[in-house]
Amino acid sequence: MNVPDPQAIATDWLAQFSDPNQWQSWFKMMPEMDAMPGAAMLRDAGAVIRPDVMDQLKNDYMAEFGLLWQEFLAGKAPAVNDRRFSSPAWLGNPVSAFHAASYLLNAKFLGAMADALETTSHQKQKIRFTVQQIVDAMSPANFLATNPEAQEKLIQTKGESLAKGLANMLGDIQKGHISLSDEKAFEVGRNLANTEGQVVFENELFQLLQYAPLTAEVHERPLLMVPPCINKYYILDLQPENSLVRYAVEQGNTVFLVSWRNPDRSLAKTSWDDYVEQGVLRAIAVASDISKQEQLNMLGFCVGGTLLSTSLAVLAARGEHPAASLTLLTTFLDFSDTGILNVFVDEAQVQLREQTLRDGGLMPGRDLASTFSSLRPNDLVWNYVQSNYLKGNEPPPFDLLYWNSDSTNLPGPMFCWYLRNTYLENNLKVAGKLTVAGEKIDFANIDAPAFIYGSREDHIVPWQSAYGSVPLLNPGKPEANRFVLGASGHIAGVINPAAKKKRSYWTNDGKLGQDADSWFAGATEQPGSWWPEWAAFLAEHGGKRVKARSKLGNTKYKPIEAAPGRYVKTKAE
């Protein structure tokens, strides 16, 4: 029996990844990776790692690979601590276990090599991100030839799983995205976004929904919800058991909600100012007119919170203060730390977008969806490649993942303004630096108590960045602000129904300071959902209880159509 020389194998592998010329070949083989942040610099990686550091990395790799090879020759399956390779099909077969273990060792070496690059912290972050994309893509679980689970199913089904997998792949190619959920199981307006209500106003940019009361009495001040325009609003109104909209109505609030239009070419020149003036400010005016209230409770989620806060700063500059309270859910006002999304933003990338979109055009929803999927590729890409294509499984119905695939476009001018003035230059938080809708923006002028929420595992808005809104709002009276931290991530942390009593959240009744970590050090973990805490905050600022009105809208703003309306059903071009 000819046993391969383990040193020769390891040396050959090291040569591929420590020689910058090999990186150029790698990127030619995988052209989609060449567009990743940091890819250009990664192609020259060998030139910016100190030789002594590279030698140490090689020696460490050779030593670990030698031990792994000895285990394999001894017939011992190596330990593999990764959920991708946790099934008996992987661990019960020494060859498959060796493939998984050697892959993880190679991934560890590539990560260490990226960390050893001598460059700026921002460039290193971008390179590390690109390396991780390559590492995740090259997992042996992603290929039929090296995935024992897929091979077992192929044999068990006599080839049927492969035929189904190919059909699933062809269907997704036609749709333009990987199916994360059984998309035939859901329909907006039937079993998603079906809280009862009416569209009471619409213009080219949004429809305003008003929901029917579910209590005999309501707070006299209504609640206006501004969701992100980068996604569809029904993340806040999925199904009755996990709908934040329905929960708010059940707590005795008259709820209005902005349903943004999915932009087409007719909105290609729409600006950030338009989203403020013709969007949020118009919604505030209509909701005030219908409810006959000068002040409203207001909520903004993610980009919707940034838009809402900007709009309230515009009104404050005009001497108007229509917010009885302000709720911000996973929202950036201070973009000092944008987490992993920082890898997609630098001067060159922003200029490239501006050259093509600043004067008109659309940022395609599929591009935005791909960007967010790349932040969690194993969960949102490769997991479904393995299940849907290699094993021929149909994805189960999951409302949140159905919503995740229902993408929206963004108008180019609005998108470019947002990229430059927030993610790139962080201008929005600087008092008086930006003019929006003809007014200088200063968040300190917003006169409203604030409920600020962050999610502890949020990879889109790090919770410390959500906390960064605290010193910007009510700086002269910090007691007007309240910060609550929820468990889980950007979406699952927010959509945590009170009735299910899942997860937990943290509160701190002490004084809010500038430092998020100090706040957390003094915080207390509470079981269950943060929703009741928020409901109590709304009730505190909702005014007296009055009899609920059965008729929606008024004589000026008459119902146009039943919720959820037409706009939310429009698919991205």
Would you please indicate which residues are annotated as catalytic (active-site) residues?
302
The residues, any chain, with a CB within 8 Å of residue 116's CB and separated by 6 or more, are 49, 50, 53, 54, 57
Q: What angle do CA 171, 175, 181 make, to 5 degrees?
A: 80
User: Considering only CA atoms, which of 186, 230, 227 is closest in space to residue 367?
Assistant: 230
Give the DSSP letter of residue 279: I
Is-cis flag, bond preceding 564, omega within 30? Answer: yes
Dihedral (C-alpha) 507, 510, 512, 518: value to the nearest 10 degrees?
-80
Between the CA atoms of 319, 325, 330 and 334, what dihedral angle is there, to the nearest 10 degrees?
30
Q: How far is CA 294 from CA 220, 299, 324, in A?
A: 11, 16, 9
Helical residues (DSSP H) of 78-201, grouped into ranges: 88-91, 94-116, 121-137, 148-156, 160-175
Q: How far apart are CA 471 and CA 329, in angstroms?
A: 16
Q: Rounded to whole angstroms, how far apart are CA atoms 269 and 251?
A: 40
Q: What span, in angstroms and rounded, lies between the C-alpha atoms of 336 and 400?
A: 29
Task: Give 3-state DSSP helix, strand, coil % of the chain, rounded to 5.
Answer: 50, 15, 35
Whole-angstrom Cα distance, residue 197 to residue 207? 12
The candidate with the shortest Cα–Cα distance to 224, out of 293, 310, 272, is 293
Question: Which residues are bridge partners to 485 per DSSP?
Answer: 454, 506
Question: What is the end-to-end Cα distance of the chain in Å, rounded?
Answer: 59
Listed in sequence order, the DSSP H helices in 159-297 are: 160-175, 244-250, 272-274, 281-291
Please give, one letter per residue, the 3-state secondary structure of 366-424.
HHHHHHHHHHCHHHHHHHHHHHHHHCCCCCCCCHHHHHHHCCCCEEHHHHHHHHHHHHH
Q: Return the H-helix or E-strand segment holding 325.
A: strand 323-329
Q: Which amino acid is at 102?
A: S
